[in-house]
A and B are shown apart, each in its own frame.
Chain A
């Protein structure tokens, strides 16, 4: 053995290193488990599909707010469309205003189509998917966003 060879690791120091290594491995695994815990595999939450009623109930040119479902249902000559009233900024509920929609929390403003016309909102108000149930009633799926301008014809 020449003097340039690294000194051999003694059994004692090898075991010490292994012991310390296993300590940190155990701590690391425990921390990983702790960090994993607050993220459940399934997130609780209500199904946000809302039955709004038979189409005949809504006249052409009408708009009907559904405050409990945070959306407004419109009907014009092209058909139905639903716009979410949850602000795309920080999630407050916007209210109908003279120019469209206005947010009470941070002053975002939208036109009647949901496009941003002022304030901090980064995106237009989402248009929501409209469909019909088997019994013919209108259904809005509030978790599915569709292209703006899409109308549902009855």
Chain B
């Protein structure tokens, strides 16, 4: 067939849609065989972080409840809505509040977008906490996943930092007084250095406060710093850590799960499947790719299914669920916007968003102990868990170790009793300053309801360690105490603290003023 260049050109022009599509999508069509399904996964930049096959146990919704995915999905939602809000938001003390009003009242879908942003952020904070609890109670932090537990803690801190910097930006009453209180918490090492009289030589508090505010007062310099943190630095760190987090899940051998027993039959999803018998003569070159005690072959690939489509359907469903929940919440409930920032007087009571209210209760005992030292102690304690509890067993099973449920319930009751007792005592009898007004501040920093809770919880955990003779059970008791303490303090400060941070049974009893 003698073709001219013109003919070829026309022919290529006709085939253009197909050739462009083939150039964009490497396989060019939806996969039909398992081989093509595997290629669809690992030939795609966005999908190749997944393994080609996924264990049936990892797909079981009650193992994870999709919490990590919901956290990631809600972050993507905040990212998109956040960029949209940046179109109108102006980080200036004169204009910020007005631009919030513009977003609410003059921008098409502005209020809705802001509501979605705010609700997705709230969902993210809640779900990140739940995700941490899930990983803990399924012992999924154990070797080789210690590092990913640390990355997860980093993500928790960044998530909270993003939430904090986020509600500073509208420059309303909540924002102004949150910056004031936040920067003074950063300044609170002065409570200690003042008490022992070394502030003029050693002043980490003053340094931190100045770093956050960039000025002697809360104003434009502080707003622009928190804006840069919120829209650039923190999201960048979060995305980086998320990447590492996901990558390590894969490299650590997928979601934590108990070993499949080699040989024989295993029951999965109502089907009985044969499990591979490992052959001593065989060498497994893939061993080096994924950390683990044995190559995947030994785990029985019969208990896995293709990631395309099973895992991707599940991920898509969780993403859609997150979007749906966020949209419904955003539709029915507006993100709050208080009055314009007024440096003369805070609201009464001036309450932080719910996830910081437990912290606010602790801070109301001692700024340094409650605002800095206890959070640091808690974070260090959480970070140490996988390095102190190193005995394998129970990974990927809820309350997998013998006696774990018992310890959980005991610790739950114990921690509730102690926390409620401590709060009731404090409300009824006050604390050291009320009894001895002249007492040295060091006593109050050292001995207050918050620090006592930490000590009692630690003592309880050590007692469990000795009595039950298991590091894992001691960790379970401590983590349960932490969860109860966090939840009860948050509840208490939300419902039972009113004007002047006094105790009230119900917000309806607050005095009018």
Residues of A within 8 A of B (CB): 38-40, 43-46, 67-68, 70, 89-93, 95, 97, 102-107, 109, 115-120, 122-123
Closest 3 CB pairs of A and B: A107-B501, A45-B216, A104-B348
B64 interface residue, CB < 8 Å from A? no
Interface residues of B in 307-348 (CB under 8 A from A): 343-348
* Extra 12 A-B pairs, beta carbons < 8 Å, given A44-B215, A102-B500: A43-B215, A90-B185, A90-B371, A93-B346, A103-B500, A103-B501, A105-B177, A105-B360, A106-B363, A118-B433, A120-B366, A122-B441
Main secondary structure of the interface of A (DSSP, over half): loop
CA distance A105 to B343 in the complex (A): 14
Is B61 at the interface (CB under 8 A from chain A)? no
Given the known inter-chain contacts A103-B500, A105-B181, please indicate yes or no for A40 contacting B433, CB distance below 8 A. Answer: no
Q: Which residue of A lies closest to B513 (CB)?
A: A95
Interface residues on B, range: 35 or more
Verify B217–A45 contact, CB threshold 8 A.
yes
Q: In whole angstroms, what is the CA distance A88 to B469 when docked?
A: 47
The verdict on A92 contacting B177 (CB below 8 Å), with A70-B344, A104-B500 known, is yes
Closest Cβ neighbor of B191 among chain A residues: A122
Which B166-213 residues sit within 8 Å CB-CB of chain A? 177, 180-181, 183-185, 188, 191, 194-195, 210-211
A46 to B221: give the CA distance in the assembly, Å. Answer: 13
Q: Are A44 and B366 in contact (CB under 8 A)?
A: no
Q: Are B216 and A116 in contact (CB under 8 A)?
A: no
> When the two chains form the complex, which single residue of B195, B346, B434 contacts A105, counting CB atoms closer than 8 Å?
B346
Knowing A39-B210, A67-B344, A90-B185 touch, does A105 contact B349 (C-beta < 8 A)?
yes
Could you name 30 residue pairs across A and B whose Cβ atoms are closer than 8 Å? A38-B211, A40-B214, A44-B214, A45-B217, A45-B219, A46-B217, A90-B181, A90-B363, A90-B367, A90-B371, A91-B181, A91-B184, A93-B346, A95-B345, A102-B500, A104-B350, A104-B499, A105-B177, A106-B360, A106-B501, A107-B501, A109-B500, A116-B437, A118-B430, A119-B364, A119-B433, A120-B367, A122-B194, A122-B195, A122-B444
The docked-state distance in angstroms from the alpha carbon of A20 to that of B436 is 61
Q: How far is the CA of A147 from the CA of B132 in the complex (A)?
A: 51
- Minimum CB–CB distance from B178 to chain A (whole Å) comes to 10
A117 near B365: Cβ-Cβ < 8 Å: no
- Contact partners of B365 in chain A: CB under 8 A: 120
- A107 touching B500 in the complex, CB below 8 Å, given contacts A39-B211, A120-B364: yes
Complex Cα gap A3–B181 (Å): 67
**Complex interface: chain B residues within 8 A of A90 (CB):** 180-181, 184-185, 188, 363, 367, 371
User: Is B363's CB under 8 angstroms from A117's CB?
Assistant: no
B502 at the A interface (CB under 8 A): yes
Name the distance in Å between A146's Cβ and chain B's nearest Cβ. Answer: 17
A122–B368 Cα distance when bound, in Å, is: 10
A43 touches B346 (CB 8 A): no
Write out the residue numbers on chain B whose beta carbons fall within 8 Å of the beta carbon of A109. Answer: 500
- B177 surroundings in chain A (CB, below 8 A): 92, 105
Query: How many angstroms from the CA of A38 to the CA of B229 in the assembled complex?
Result: 13
How many Å lie between the Cα of A37 and that of B287 in the bound state? 48
Closest to A118 in B: B434
**Contacts A45-B217, A117-B434, A122-B441; is A104 near B363 (CB within 8 Å)?**
no
Residues of A within 8 A of B370 (CB): 120
Chain A residues within an 8 Å CB radius of B363? 90, 106, 120
Interface-centre pick from B211, B346, B347, B434 (highest chain A CB count, 10 A): B346
CB distance from A116 to the nearest CB of B (A): 6
In Å, the complex CA distance between A95 and B184 comes to 19
Partner of B364, one of A39, A102, A107, A116: A107
User: Which residues on the A side are within 8 Å of B434 (C-beta)?
Assistant: 117-118
Question: Are A117 and B444 within 8 A (Cβ)?
Answer: no
